[in-house]
Copies of this chain bind each other. A is one copy, B any other.
């Protein structure tokens, strides 16, 4: 089934650089240190790729490498610590929820500004309303 992938192939299909892949490995982010060919070259399995994709999801949702390492350690230790894994996941879940909240709020503010600029540009009123080269001009647009 799993043919064995070179680091270059894994880089290609995960979008991580080969540098990053080696870096992640050094950092202990792979459940088991990648197998090697006789010549020392890394051989990745499809499972490794799947795991990496999960790490990428974790990273891109703001989980620090350190926490990913903790999670990896738990998984590596095997059965018995499922509660801990769950706690870690839940905590990250909350974190992500908070981020989404925050971004939505930012979005609200930005969209408001965009709308106002757009309106004034449409009106051709821009030249009348933007008076001072100051904070205030933009702030009044923001408020």
Cβ of A128 to closest chain B Cβ, rounded Å: 9
A111-129 CB mask vs B (1 if < 8 Å, else 0) is 1011001101100001100
Closest residue of chain B to A121, judged by CB?
A: B82
A98-141 CB mask vs B (1 if < 8 Å, else 0) is 01101111110111011001101100001100111111111100
Contact at A135–B103, with CB atoms within 8 Å? Answer: no
Number of copies: 2
A72-89 CB mask vs B (1 if < 8 Å, else 0) is 000111111011011001
Cβ of A51 to closest chain B Cβ, rounded Å: 5
Query: Can you list 26 residue pairs at the A/B interface with Cβ under 8 Å?
Result: A31-B134, A31-B138, A47-B134, A47-B135, A47-B136, A47-B139, A50-B142, A50-B143, A54-B109, A54-B139, A54-B142, A57-B110, A58-B106, A60-B102, A75-B138, A76-B134, A78-B130, A79-B130, A79-B137, A82-B130, A83-B121, A86-B117, A86-B121, A93-B111, A96-B103, A96-B107
